[in-house]
Amino acid sequence: MEKKEFGTHISEMLNQNLEALFNHILAMGGMVERQMDNALQALGTSDVAKAKEIILFDKMINDAEMEIDRLCARVLARQQPTASDLRLILVAIRVAIDLERMGDEVVKLAKMVIAFDQINQVKCSDVEGYIELVDISNRSNQMLKGTLDAFARVSTDGASQIVAEEESIDRVFSNIMDQLKRSMQSQPDCFECLMEMIIALRAAERVSDHARNIVESIVYLVNGQDVRNMDEDRLQALLTKLQAEEG
């Protein structure tokens, strides 16, 4: 039983190209997932070697983005797809950009691990905000996996949970930011550590933002509706409706 998403064209070439593009995006997603997993491990054990490995692997993600762009341009030039195929290409470009940015954010997390190793007298797990950082990173990681699964299934199933999760991460983020601002004023000697922590927190939070962007791209792919500027309640209502239609 073959899924029919790419088997609908008379042109075998177009089918193959679109499927190759689809698989490339998910393979790139897999790379980002591994980076994120590694970052969490590096964060948990202050593993500098692992952090350096992450920085090294980021190059592969950048290459993957370029490869996806190349594939998109090729399909556009050779086959001039329309309707849902055209949407797939637009979405592919967008998702590739989001994934590449995520890769960059993960590198920031890795850099924080290295920075704390150099600061020496402070362990990063003792700095204020570490628990929140691990929490946000963990949740962003789960979100990333959820979005990529949804993309693989070309389904908006689970999209509303992901959007809700992103909102909740935003709240955690703004709370910890307020707390860190106060700490910075009260204990200026920790300035360097807190600065690093803020950059890392921001990076972890950005990962969840990009995951949400991918969800919005998936909605566009499935439904053709651009939901990027939609307010929360309407978006949730739309997602529940879509989910009901699919189920």
Instruction: Return residues touching other proteins (CB under 8 A).
Output: 1-3, 22-23, 26-27, 29-31, 33-34, 37, 40-41, 49-50, 52-53, 56, 60, 141-142, 145, 148-149, 152-153
Nearest residue (CB) to other proteins, 144 versus 193? 144
Nearest residue (CB) to other proteins, 27 versus 66? 27
Report the nearest approach of other proteins to the CB of residue 12 (Å).
Answer: 14
Q: DSSP alpha helices (H): ranges in the chain?
A: 12-45, 48-79, 83-119, 130-152, 159-186, 191-223, 232-246
- Taking CB atoms within 8 Å and a gap of at least 24, the contacts of 48-56 are 48/113, 48/114, 48/117, 50/110, 50/113, 51/110, 51/111, 51/113, 51/114, 52/110, 52/114, 54/106, 54/107, 54/109, 54/110, 55/107, 55/110, 55/111
Report the nearest approach of other proteins to the CB of residue 38 (Å).
Answer: 8
Distance of alpha carbon 8 from alpha carbon 55, whole angstroms: 41
Nearest residue (CB) to other proteins, 151 versus 235? 151
Nearest residue (CB) to other proteins, 41 versus 179? 41
Report the nearest approach of other proteins to the CB of residue 11 (Å).
Answer: 19
Report the nearest approach of other proteins to the CB of residue 40 (Å).
Answer: 8
